[in-house]
């Protein structure tokens, strides 16, 4: 399903000039950018899990998950991984950037209705998950109990701390479970990897959908734990990352078999991933 409320009416490959209105330093190497059109509007209305192409004119462009949106803004979080992302981190508020999108499919918000939701994020992987968490809170009556399990390497690497510790725990029928691989002198929460903590929390695989995003190695072991706990691959939903250029299934870059991650993904169930050639 493609959301056609896009930034550019007739040319999906030409970005719209927008401005960065707020920069949040999440961790030493992750920043969140709040972005708005030059005339103060929301650039587009994404569905949870959809992607946006963000460009620094003259430097380059790359695809990132749109982690949140409000009345007149969208947000994306970018981790420093190379030249382009370094340049994003050098931006100041007020900077103009190019934005195009939204691209790709989205989390199955309708099939998840009436179910309990277990959101699992590792590191920057909380960014895509957050878009569905916010959607679920905005449509609270449609979903059952909500659990959010988040893990990062250390307390300093936790992203979206305000959401994790202030906003989300206040939501009705919601529990937030945070763990770090290594604690420090001030950390009082759980210490341990996500899969172990997950098994300790012993969620029942009944009428519950799992949304999990994070580094491939964490996904691998977390999925093993989920299967051990009795969850089916159909009920485990994740997002894929691939190098992308166009975002609209034309440039050929992001294929896995006959699927394009930019168009048919980035959201897949673990069962769907099993159907694709092993080339990720």
Partner 1 sequence: MQLKRENLIPALRLLAAQGEILVPTAVDEKVSKFAPWDGSSAPDLALVNTTLPPKDTLFPHQEGMYRYKTAGEPSLEEIVEAPARILFGVRPCDARSIDCMDKVFLGDKYEDAFYARRRANVTVIAHTCAQTGPTCFCDSMGLSPAEAPSADLLLSDTETGWLVTAQTEKGEAVAALWKDLTAEGGEAAPAPACTLKTNMSDALAGTLVSRFEDPIWDEVCHACLGCGTCTYLCPTCYCFDINHEDHGGEGTQFRCWDSCMFSDYTRMAGGHNPRPSKKERLRNRYLHKLAYFKERYGQILCVGCGRCVGHCPSHLDITAFIDKAAERFGEGK
In the list ligand FES, partner 1, none, the entry touching 85 (Cβ below 5 to 8 angstroms by class) is: partner 1
Rounded-to-integer distance, Cα 22 and Cα 223, Å: 35
Put the strands of the sheet holding 236-239 in their side by side order: 190-191, 174-180, 146-152, 116-122, 208-213, 236-239, 267-269
Dihedral angle over CA of 216, 56, 131, 247, nearest 10: -70
Per CB under 6 A, the segment of 31-39, 80-88, 115-123, 250-258 that binds ligand FES is: 250-258
CB under 5 to 8 A by kind: which of partner 1, ligand FES, none does 262 bind?
ligand FES
Least distance to ligand FES from the beta carbon of 150, Å? 29
Residue 96 neighbours by CB under 8 Å, 6+ apart: 17, 18, 19, 20, 38, 57
96 forms part of the interface with partner 1 (CB under 8 A): yes
Q: Does 262 bind ligand FES (CB under 6 A)?
A: yes
For residues 68 to 87, the per-residue mask of contacts with partner 1, x marking binding by CB under 8 A and - elsewhere, is -------------xx-xx--
**Least Å from the CB of residue 241 to partner 1:** 7
The Cα–Cα gap between 85 and 257 comes to 29
Position among 250, 257, 277, 280 found at the interface with ligand FES (CB under 6 A)? 250
Counting contacts by CB under 8 A, is residue 28 touching partner 1? Answer: no
What would the 3-class secondary structure string for 4-73 be? Answer: CCCCCCCCCCCCEEEEEEEEEEEECCEEEEEEEECCCCCCCCCCCCCEEEEEECCCEEEEEEEEEEECCE
Minimum distance from CB of 106 to partner 1 (Å)? 14
Nearest of 186, 150, 193, 155 to residue 168 by alpha carbon: 150
Nearest distance in Å: CB 174, partner 1: 32
Contact 33, 89 (CB under 8 A): no
- Per-residue interface string for the shown chain with ligand FES, residues 58-97, x marking contact by CB under 6 A: ----------------------------------------
Smallest CA-to-CA distance from 153 within 127, 128, 178 is with 178
| Residue 198: Cβ within 10 Å count | 26
Q: Which is nearer to partner 1, 189 or 216 (CB)?
A: 216
Question: Any contact of residue 53 with ligand FES (CB under 6 A)?
Answer: no
11, interface contact from partner 1, ligand FES, none, CB < 5-8 Å by kind: partner 1
**Under rule CB under 6 A, residue 251 binds ligand FES:** yes
Asked if 90 is part of the footprint of partner 1 (rule: CB under 8 A), the reply reads no
Q: Which backbone phi and psi does 156 adopt, to 5 degrees?
A: -70, -20
Where on the chain is the footprint of ligand FES (CB under 6 A)?
A: 244-247, 249-254, 260, 262
Where on the chain is the footprint of partner 1 (CB under 8 A)?
A: 2, 10-17, 57-58, 60-62, 81-82, 84-85, 96, 98, 241-243, 245-246, 248-253, 255-258, 263, 277-280
């Amino acid at each position: 399903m493609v959301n056609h409320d896009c930034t550019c009416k007739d040319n999906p490959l030409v970005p719209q000039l927008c401005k960065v209105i707020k920069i949040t330093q999440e961790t030493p190497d992750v920043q969140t950018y709040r972005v708005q059109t030059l005339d103060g509007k929301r650039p587009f209305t994404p569905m949870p899990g959809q992607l946006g192409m963000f460009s620094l004119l003259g430097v380059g462009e790359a695809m990132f998950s749109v982690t949140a949106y409000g009345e007149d803004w969208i947000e994306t979080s970018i981790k420093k991984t190379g030249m382009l992302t370094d340049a994003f981190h050098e931006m100041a508020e007020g900077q103009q950037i190019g934005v195009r999108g939204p691209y790709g499919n989205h989390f199955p918000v309708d099939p998840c209705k009436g179910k309990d939701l277990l959101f699992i994020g590792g590191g920057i992987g909380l960014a895509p998950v957050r878009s569905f968490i916010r959607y679920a809170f905005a449509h609270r009556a449609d979903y059952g109990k909500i659990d959010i399990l988040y893990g990062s390497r250390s307390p300093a690497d936790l992203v979206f701390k305000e959401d994790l510790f202030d906003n989300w725990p206040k939501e009705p029928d919601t529990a937030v479970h945070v763990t770090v691989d290594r604690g420090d002198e001030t950390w009082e929460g759980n210490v341990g990897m996500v899969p172990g903590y997950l098994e300790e929390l012993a969620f029942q695989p009944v009428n519950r959908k799992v949304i999990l995003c994070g580094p491939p190695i964490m996904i691998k072991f977390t999925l093993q734990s989920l299967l051990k706990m009795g969850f089916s691959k159909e009920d485990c939903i994740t997002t894929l990352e691939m190098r992308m250029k166009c975002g609209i299934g034309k440039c050929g870059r992001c294929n896995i078999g006959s699927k394009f991650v930019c168009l048919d993904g980035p959201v897949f169930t673990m069962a769907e991933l099993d159907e694709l050639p092993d080339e990720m």
